Amino acid sequence: MLISANNIDRKSWINVPENSDFPIQNIPFGVFITKDDVITIGTRIGDCAIDMGALQQLNYFEGIDLTDDIFMQDTLNDFISDGKKTWRLVRNRLAELFDETNAKLRDNKIHRDRIIYELEHIEMQLPVLIGDYTDFYSSKEHATNLGKIFNLPENVIPINWCHMPVGYHGRSSSIIPSGIAIHRPMGQTLPEDEIPPVFGPSRMVDFELETAFITTDVNVRGENIPVNEAEDYIFGMVLLNDWSARDIQKWESWPLGPFLAKNFASSISPWIVTMDALEPFRTKGPNQNPAPLPYLQSKGKNNFDIHLEVAIQPEKGEATIVSKSNFKHIYWSMSQQLAHHTSNGCRVNSGDMMGSGTISGPTPDSYGSMLELTWGGKKPIKLLDGSERKFINDGDIVTIKGFCKNNGVRIGFGEVSTKLLPPFVRK
C-alpha cells in the first residue's frame, strides 16, 4: 500500500534537525495550548508545532470532508471517530502542504506566522479524552522475569498467559502527559512480608517501559472485531510509562490484580504517531507456541520494529540510560489484543487506550522495569554520577524515548519524561 505521506524522498521547507523524530514522513497528531492560550489540534515537523485549527480556518483542508471545527477542539476524539480514510487524507494533505516544492503556504508569511509555533511557545496536552484504559501484559520476557522474581507457581508463567493476551483495566484519570511531575504514593505494604501491614510512602516506586495504542470507535456493544480487521481501528501509538509501586502491588494484588499500585500516575508521550507512519517498520512477532485459538490467529507481520530506551536523571546529575529494548519483542500483537478485548462484545470507543505491558527484551540490559533490572532490588544499578538505584528516588526524572529507523528515515515518538516528587503534603 502506497501512502503519499510516507514518501521517503520528500523533504519539508521546515528545517528538520538531523536525527529528529519528526521528519515530514511522521506527521503525528497532538493537542496543544498556544502562547495566546488557544487550544488546538496540531502536528509537528522538526521542532515546529503546527496549528491545524488555524490551517482549517485558512481553508488548507479544502476538499476533505471534515466538520468545520474538527481541529479547533481540545481532544482528538472526534477526528479519530472520522475513521482511517479521513486520517490518511489529512496526513497526506499535511505532507503536501509542507513539501519543500509546495509554495502555497511556504511563501505566505502571514499564514505561516499564524500556523507555526516554536515548541517552547506551546504546551502539550493529553491528546485524547481517554474513556477507558486497559493495560496488557504481553511481553513473555517480562512475565517470565516476574514469575521468577516473585517465585510464582505454575512453571513461572501462568498457564492462561500462553493462550490469551492477559490484561486488566487501569484508571483513565491516572493518565498524564509528559512533563507533569508526580508524587511518591502512600500506601499499605507488608515491609518484612509479615502481618500487620503499615501505611506510609512506597519504598519501591518503579517505571514500566511500555507503548500504548489509541483506538477509534470499534464496535457496538456485543460485537467482536476479527483479529485481521483489528488494525483498521487503531489510530496510532504513544510511549507509556506505567508507574508502579511494587511494595503496594505485592500486598494488594491477590486476588483482584493491581489497583493503588498503579492508579497514582501513568505518563504518555503527547504526539500520537499514526499506524500509517509506522507501516514501513512492520516486522514479524515471536513464534507463538502453543498455537493461538482461531479467533487470535492473524496473518502477516503484526509487530513493529520500535527501538526503546529508558533513562534516569538524578536531581543534580546527568541522565543514565538504564534499558534498551524493542517493541518487536512483544508476544501478543496489538491486533490480537484488540480482537481478544472485543471477543466478549466489550465496547471500545474513540480515544480508548491500551498499553502493551512492560516491554522487556531477552537480555538483562533490555528489561523494562527496575524490578527486573535490579532483580527485585538485589542488584542495584550504578548511575553515571556514581549513585546507586534499586528503585526510583525522589527528584529523579525518568525518560522513555522511542523511534523506528530504516531506509534513512527515522520516525520517532519524542519522549515521555516524568519527575518523581516526595509524597504530597495536604494543606
Residue from 20, 34, 174, 393 touching a second copy (CB under 8 A): that is: 174
Q: Is 349 in the site for a second copy (CB under 8 A)?
A: yes
> Can residue 199 be called a binding residue for a second copy (CB under 8 A)?
yes
* Closest to a second copy by CB, 131 or 377: 131
Q: Which of 142, 329, 340, 341 is catalytic?
A: 142
Q: Is 152 in the site for a second copy (CB under 8 A)?
A: yes
Q: Smallest gap, in angstroms, from Cβ of residue 346 to a second copy?
A: 4
Q: Which three cell numbers stand for residue 348?
A: 471500545
Q: How far apart are CA 53 and CA 59, in angstroms?
A: 10
Least spacing, CB of residue 359 vs a second copy, in Å: 17
Is 142 assigned a catalytic role? Answer: yes
- Tell me which of 293, 297, 379, 406 binds a second copy, using CB under 8 A: 293
Q: CB-wise, 196 or 386, nearer to a second copy?
A: 196
Binding piece for a second copy, criterion CB under 8 A, among 16-24, 75-83, 255-263, 399-407: 255-263
Separation CA 70–CA 344 (nearest Å) = 32
Q: Does 169 bind a second copy (CB under 8 A)?
A: yes
- When binding is defined by CB under 8 A, the residue of 144, 172, 387, 393 that contacts a second copy is 172
Q: Can you tell me which of 177, 187, 314, 414 binds a second copy, judged by CB under 8 A?
A: 187
Burial of 283 per CB tally in 10 Å (0-12, 13-18, 19+): middle
> What pairs with residue 45 in β-bridges?
48
Q: Would you count residue 198 as binding a second copy (CB under 8 A)?
A: yes
Residue 262 annotated as binding site: yes
Q: Counting contacts by CB under 8 A, is residue 248 touching a second copy?
A: yes
- Is 324 annotated in some ligand binding site? no
- Per CB under 8 A, 158 contacts a second copy: yes
Residue 374's Cβ-count burial label (10 Å; 0-12, 13-18, 19+) is buried
223 binds a second copy (CB under 8 A): yes
Of the residues 84, 183, 301, 419, which one makes contact with a second copy according to CB under 8 A: 183
Asked if 63 interacts with a second copy (CB under 8 A), we say no
Among 31, 115, 245, 354, binds a second copy (CB under 8 A): 245
Please say which residue, 295 or 375, places its beta carbon nearer to a second copy.
Answer: 295
Query: Could you tell me whether strands 133-136 and 167-169 are parallel, antiparallel, or unpaired per DSSP bridges?
Result: antiparallel
Using the rule CB under 8 A, give the single segment among 13-21, 26-34, 263-271, 377-385 that binds a second copy.
263-271
Write out the catalytic residue numbers.
Answer: 142
Which segments are annotated as binding site for substrate? Answer: 137, 249, 358
Which segments are annotated as binding site for Mg(2+)? Answer: 242, 262, 266
Binding site for a second copy (CB under 8 A): 131-132, 134, 137, 152, 158-160, 163-164, 166-174, 176, 182-183, 185-188, 195-199, 202, 221-224, 245, 248, 251-260, 263-265, 290, 293-295, 340-341, 343-349, 352, 424, 426
